[in-house]
Amino acid sequence: MALEVHVVTPEREVWSGEARLLVARGIDGEVGIMSGHAPLLVRLDVGALTIQTEQGQQVAVIDGGFLHVSTEEGSTRADVLADAAQLASEVDASAARQRADELRQRLDARDGLEPEERERLQRELKKANARIAVVG
């Protein structure tokens, strides 16, 4: 039985291929998918996506979306439908660190940010921190 993985965004296919294991961060915690997994739909949170293949490991960062798992005729397919995604090799660590610093400064300024703006900035900081985490 094979596990076929497709990681896509509205703009592009980020990665596709066969995997032994897929680990994603759902809004309720991490989920691991292997061949033969039951059908599943999970809302994804911002965080790392790890794909274990026969050749090694691929890591990506996901900015939310959905994970859909289906099984047909002895084959398991996992579709990661991400709002935005980057492979770790595509992440500019310096730019992510700079973005995180800028966002922290804006959040720490305490200049009377509206609650919606504060929430937006916190979400952007979470995305920058996720990118930093996948590149080390």
- pLDDT above 80 (res 105): yes
- The predicted-structure confidence for 3-60, as pLDDT tens digits, reads as follows 999 999 999 999 999 999 999 999 999 999 999 999 999 999 999 999 999 999 999 9
pLDDT at 1: 66
Rounded distance, CA 67 to CA 80, Å?
A: 5
**Range 100-126 average pLDDT:** 89
Which CATH fold would you assign to the domain 2-89?
Answer: ATP Synthase; domain 1 (2.60.15)
Taking only the tens place, the pLDDT of each residue in 56-98 is 999 999 999 999 999 988 899 999 999 999 999 999 999 999 9
Query: Six-digit token pair at 7?
Result: 């990681």
Where residue 2 falls among pLDDT bands split at 50, 70, 90?
confident
Q: What is the pTM of this model?
A: 0.90
Length of the chain: 136
Grouping H, G, I as helix, E, B as strand and the rest as coil, residue 86 is strand
C-alpha 71/C-alpha 74 separation (Å) is 7
Pick left, alpha or beta for residue 65 (phi over 0 → left; psi -120 to 50 → alpha; otherwise beta).
left
What is the C-alpha separation between 97 and 84, in angstroms, rounded?
18
C-alpha 119/C-alpha 42 separation (Å) is 23
pLDDT number for residue 110: 65
What are the structural domain ranges in the chain? 2-89, 92-135
- Token code pair at residue 88: 């770790």
Average pLDDT value for residue range 111-121: 87
